[in-house]
């Protein structure tokens, strides 16, 4: 996107990630670019296999892009040879990730105290164990686990799913990150405690100034968490629409976003019954080994135009300016572009 790098805390530029052997390669993420401003929340939504987790892992530095670059605070993360740049350590501490499964991401043989004090001592963020304890107590308080003495010496298996995920959040906070990638962070948590977890994470924006890339398959969660931010919709490795949350929810422009919003069941019987459906031409999600020509959504798209959509791949283009936020919305669709009077 054609904005000055300076305004973004993190930027993905033409990210590509391939997997597999030389004989059989799949491109899980294909030319993804976006920028996230400091203090902003960006949600990455899409169905399984669309590349959202791979994108998140590249943003967090856990996966090296096959091609493309990540810019963190104005500096490239990978150098020209594709190795870790000078900026890497600062980037690795500044950008943290929260994984989906709190049962798998916490060491089962460590107590909460050990889980949280280890990174503090390792990175010399505290001078001694006494200071570490003080900081751990502070962190538990921030993530709403109290009374603290009830949790310090517990092992992960003694905690509920929601409590475990709070410990995961506290662990990411040990290194004072400026940016957090949350990958399906609340999907495994029961409904009744999910909102508490989301609100706690949202508070960190205000109190600690954390910026989020929030990855989820759940549109309702995306809407709730990123109401003041933006949503990027991914389909088969690419971003197809990127807009402010209210715009995307109330007036999706890409046919795939439209189909998702029309299909999602709502926790409100009258609302869900009165929804207008979008009929797709096919139910089959294309295989990454045999991608359709042109627009990757064209075999399923109800607005498909032969000779255009199956020939030329649409670029993610700025279509209209969101008057309320001054933010541009981006859509990768020939038909939507034409309707907005933009050449695609």
Partner 1 sequence: MENRAKTPLTVEDLWVEYQIERGVVKAVRGVSFSLARGESLALIGESGCGKTTLGVALIRLLVQAARIPRGEITYWRGNQGIDVLSLKERELRRFRWSECAMVFQSALNAFNPVLRIWDQILDTAKAHGGMSRHQVRERALELLEYVQLDSKRVIDAYPHELSGGMRQRVLLAMSLLLDPQVLILDEPTTALDILTQRTIIDLLRRLKEEVGFAMLFISHDLATAAELADRIATMYAGSIVELGPVDDIFYRPAHPYTLGLIRAVPTVTGEFEDLVSIPGAPPDLVDPPPGCKFHPRCPYVTERCRIEEPKLETHYSEVHSVACFNVQRVQQDTLDLQERYEKYLGGKAQ
From the list 27-35, 116-124, 175-183, 269-277, the region that binds partner 1 by CB under 8 A is: 269-277
Does the protein bind partner 1 through residue 180 (CB under 8 A)? Answer: no
Window contacting partner 1 (CB under 8 A); options: 5-13, 26-34, 150-158, 262-270: 262-270
E strand spans, the chain: 8-20, 25-37, 41-45, 67-72, 75-76, 95-98, 179-183, 211-216, 230-235, 238-244, 317-322, 327-331
Check binding of 251 to partner 1 (CB under 8 A).
Answer: no
**Contact flag: residue 220 with partner 1 (CB under 8 A):** yes
Q: Which stretch binds partner 1 (CB under 8 A): 21-29, 148-156, 192-200, 329-337?
A: 192-200
The residues, any chain, with a CB within 8 Å of residue 203's CB and separated by 6 or more, are none
Query: Counting contacts by CB under 8 A, is residue 71 touching partner 1?
Result: no
Enter the tokens of residue 255.
């046919």
What gap in Å lies between CA 40 and CA 18, rounded to an integer? Answer: 29
Its sign, for the CA torsion 155, 179, 40, 17, is: negative
Could you tell me which stretch among 16-24, 103-111, 261-269, 315-323 binds partner 1 (CB under 8 A)? 261-269
Q: Residues 279 to 298: which contact partner 1 by CB under 8 A?
A: 280, 283, 285
Stretch that binds partner 1, among 76-84, 259-267, 288-296, 321-329 (CB under 8 A): 259-267
At closest approach, how far in Å is the CB of 219 from partner 1? 5
User: CB-based contacts of 97: which residues, under 8 Å, 6+ apart?
Assistant: 56, 57, 60, 62, 172, 180, 181, 182, 183
Q: Does 24 bind partner 1 (CB under 8 A)?
A: no
Q: What minimum distance in Å lies between the beta carbon of 14 and partner 1? A: 27
The half-sphere exposure of 240 on its side-chain side, counting CA atoms within 13 A, is: 29
Q: Any contact of residue 3 with partner 1 (CB under 8 A)? A: no
Which residues have a Cβ under 8 Å from the Cβ of 206 and sit 6 or more positions away?
Answer: none
127 binds partner 1 (CB under 8 A): no
User: φ, ψ for residue 42 (rounded to 5)?
Assistant: -120, 130
Sole binder of partner 1 in the list 134, 265, 281, 312 (CB under 8 A): 265
- Choose among 3, 13, 22, 105: nearest CA to 59: 13
- Could you give the CA distance from residue 15 to residue 265 in angstroms, rounded to a whole number? 33
Q: Which is nearer to partner 1, 61 or 299 (CB)?
A: 299
- Whose tokens are 């031409």? That residue is 281
Please give the residues from 144 up to 163 whose contact with partner 1 meets the rule CB under 8 A.
Answer: 160, 162-163
Contact partners, residue 87, CB within 8 Å, separation at least 6: 72, 73, 75, 76, 77
Mark the segment that binds partner 1 (CB under 8 A) among 2-10, 55-63, 131-139, 195-203.
Answer: 195-203
* Angle at which helices 129-142 and 191-208 cross, to 10°: 120
Return the residue of 108, 147, 269, 341 that touches partner 1, per CB under 8 A: 269
Of 12 and 249, CB closest to partner 1: 249
Residues that bind partner 1 (CB under 8 A): 47-48, 160, 162-163, 190-199, 217, 219-221, 223-224, 227, 246, 249-250, 259-261, 263-275, 280, 283, 285
């Amino acid at each position: 996107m054609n904005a000055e790098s300076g305004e973004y805390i993190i930027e993905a530029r033409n990210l590509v990630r391939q997997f597999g052997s030389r004989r059989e390669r799949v491109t899980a993420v294909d030319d993804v670019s976006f920028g996230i401003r400091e203090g902003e929340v960006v949600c990455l939504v899409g169905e399984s296999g669309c590349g959202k987790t791979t994108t998140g892992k590249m943003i967090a530095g856990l996966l090296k892009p096959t091609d493309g670059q990540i810019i963190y605070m104005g500096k490239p993360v990978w150098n020209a040879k594709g190795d870790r740049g000078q900026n890497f350590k600062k980037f690795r501490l500044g950008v943290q990730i929260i994984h989906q499964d709190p049962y798998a991401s916490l060491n089962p043989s460590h107590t909460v105290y050990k889980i949280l004090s280890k990174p503090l001592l390792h990175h010399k963020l505290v001078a001694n164990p006494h200071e570490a304890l003080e900081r751990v107590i502070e962190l538990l308080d921030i993530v709403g686990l109290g009374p603290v003495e009830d949790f310090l010496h517990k092992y992960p298996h003694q905690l509920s799913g929601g409590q475990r995920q709070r410990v995961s959040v506290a662990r990411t906070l040990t290194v004072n990150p400026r940016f957090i990638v949350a990958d399906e962070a609340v999907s495994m948590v029961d409904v009744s405690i999910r909102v508490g977890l989301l609100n706690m994470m949202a508070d960190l924006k205000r109190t600690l100034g954390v910026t989020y890339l929030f990855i989820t398959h759940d549109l309702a969660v995306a809407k709730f968490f990123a109401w003041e931010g933006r949503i990027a919709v991914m389909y088969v490795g690419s971003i197809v629409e990127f807009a402010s949350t209210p715009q995307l929810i109330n007036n999706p422009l890409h046919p795939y976003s439209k189909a998702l919003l029309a299909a999602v069941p709502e926790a409100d019987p009258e609302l869900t019954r009165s929804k207008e459906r979008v009929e797709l031409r096919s139910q089959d999600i294309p295989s990454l080994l045999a991608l359709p020509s042109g627009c990757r959504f064209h075999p399923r798209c109800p607005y498909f135009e032969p000779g255009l959509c199956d020939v030329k791949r649409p670029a993610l283009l700025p279509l209209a300016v969101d008057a309320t936020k001054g933010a541009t919305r981006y859509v990768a669709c020939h038909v939507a572009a034409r309707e907005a009077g933009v050449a695609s």
